[in-house]
Amino acid sequence: MWHDRRILDLFDIEQPILLAPMAGSGGAELAIAVSEAGGLGALPCAMLSPEQIRTEVGIIRQRTNGPLNLNFFCHRPPKPDAAREEAWRNRLSSYYAEYSIDSGAIPAGVGRNPFNEETCEIVEEQRPEIVSFHFGLPKESLLERVRATGAKVIASATTVAEARWLAEHGCDAIIAQGAEAGGHRGIFLEEDFSTQPGTMALVPQVVDAVEVPVIAAGGICDARGIAAAFMLGAAAVQIGTAYLQSPEALTGPAHREALTNARDDRTVLTNVFTGRPARGLINRIVREVGPVSADAPAFPLATAAVMPLRKAAEGMGSGDFSPLWAGQAAPLARPMPAAHLTRELAEEAQVLLGR
C-alpha cells in the first residue's frame, strides 16, 4: 500500500509509476506493458502524424483498460532563418562529404510538431484520461478544449518558477524534471539551462511551492530513486531511461548498444540534434560539433540537416550521429520487459518505504 495516494486517485492507477513519454522511443507496446502492471502508460505524439496517433491509441485501447496519457510538445514554431540554416549545413559539410551526401538535396523539415488545432481535435475524439505537455502549455483556447474533455492536465517544470506558472495555469499535477533527466529539458520560461537544479534539489522546493501533487522525474532508474522521490514529497515518479532497454521500447540498435555501455559521466546536455537542450550519451557529433552549437537552428529546425547523417551512419551500424538520449542514472537500468520492471520497481520501493 502506498501512503501517498494523491496521484493514484487522481489518475486511477495502482502504482505511482508513470512511463515517461519518449518521442521516437515509446509507442503502443511500451504504454500497454506499463499500464498492465498498474502504472500509467503514455503515448508521445510529438513525432507522430494524426493518423499514427489514432492508430496507436486504438491499439492501446484494445489491449488495456488502464488510463492513458497522451503527450505533446508545445513549443512555438520558429521562423526559418536561412542564414543560420546555411551555417548549420556548412558546419556539417565535412560529414556530408564523408558519407557522400548531397547537402543540397536534404529537405528542410520540422522534425517535431507542437500541439495545435488538429491534435486538439484528436484529444477531443480519443478522450485520453490524461494529457501531458512538454515546453510549457498550449494557448488558453486549446487548453480549455482539452480541459472540457475531462482530461487531467500535467506538464513538466524544470524550476520552481515554471512549477508555479504551471500551477497558476491550472495543471492538475506538476512533473518536476531535474537536470539528470534523459531527453529534452522541458524548460520554457527562460533559455539558460546551465543553472537548472537536479532532482534532489528541485522536487522538495516544487513540493513547497505548489498545492497540486508533484511527480518527480530525472535520474530515477531503480527503487532507491523512487523511495527517495517519495521522501522528498513527490506523490509519483515519471521514469524514462530505465524503460529504454525494455523489449517493448522502439529504441534502435545503436541506442541500445550505447545504453549497455552507459556511464554516469558520459551524458551531456546538447542542442546538436534538434536545436534544444536534451540529455544524451556523448557520441561523435556531440563531441565534435557540440555539445552546444551556436550554429544549430532553433528547435526543432536543427533536426533535418542531421537526419541523413544519422540514417547513413546507422545503416553502417554506427550511432555516431544518432541522438542517444539517456539520463544520468542509465547504468542503473535493468533491461527487462516493461511490465515486469514496473512491478519490481513498485514492490521494491514499497519495501524501502516500509509500506
Ligand X SMILES: Cc1cc2nc3c(=O)[nH]c(=O)nc-3n(C[C@H](O)[C@H](O)[C@H](O)COP(=O)(O)O)c2cc1C
**Contact status: 325 vs ligand X (CB under 6 A):** yes
Torsion of CA 120, 125, 130, 134, to 10 degrees: -20
In the complex, minimum distance from the CB of residue 46 to ligand X, in angstroms, rounded to a whole number = 5
Nearest residue (CB) to ligand X, 96 versus 133: 133
Nearest residue (CB) to ligand X, 218 versus 297: 218
Tell me which residues in 182-221 interact with ligand X (CB under 6 A). Answer: 182-184, 217-220
The dihedral through the CA atoms of 310, 316, 320, 324 has a sign that is: positive
What is the longest distance spanned by two Cα atoms in the chain?
61
In the complex, minimum distance from the CB of residue 324 to ligand X, in angstroms, rounded to a whole number = 9
For 338, what's the count of Cα atoms within 13 Å in the CB-facing half-sphere?
A: 32
Nearest residue (CB) to ligand X, 101 versus 120: 120
Residue type present at position 59: I
Secondary structure class of 76 (helix, strand, coil): coil
Number of residues that bind ligand X (CB under 6 A): 27
Residue from 15, 69, 71, 293 that binds ligand X (CB under 6 A)?
Answer: 71
In the complex, minimum distance from the CB of residue 77 to ligand X, in angstroms, rounded to a whole number = 16
Q: Which three cell numbers stand for residue 171?
A: 495543471
In the complex, minimum distance from the CB of residue 305 to ligand X, in angstroms, rounded to a whole number = 20
Nearest residue (CB) to ligand X, 182 versus 204: 182
In the complex, minimum distance from the CB of residue 98 to ligand X, in angstroms, rounded to a whole number = 26
What lies within 8 Å, CB to CB, of 340 at 6+ separation is 37
DSSP category for residue 331 = G
Nearest residue (CB) to ligand X, 101 versus 326: 326
- 120-to-74, 168, 214, 297 alpha-carbon distances in Å: 12, 21, 25, 27
Q: How far is 328 from 225, CA to CA, in rounded Å?
A: 12
Beta bridge partners of 267: 281
**Contact status: 25 vs ligand X (CB under 6 A):** yes
Residue from 8, 10, 13, 22 that binds ligand X (CB under 6 A)?
Answer: 22
Q: Which one, of 131, 197, 129, 192, lies nearest residue 163 by Cα?
A: 197
Nearest residue (CB) to ligand X, 97 versus 231: 231
Residue from 327, 338, 339, 349 that binds ligand X (CB under 6 A)?
Answer: 327
Q: Write out the residues near ligand X by the rule CB under 6 A.
A: 20-23, 25, 44, 46, 71, 134, 156, 177, 180-184, 217-220, 238-241, 325, 327, 329
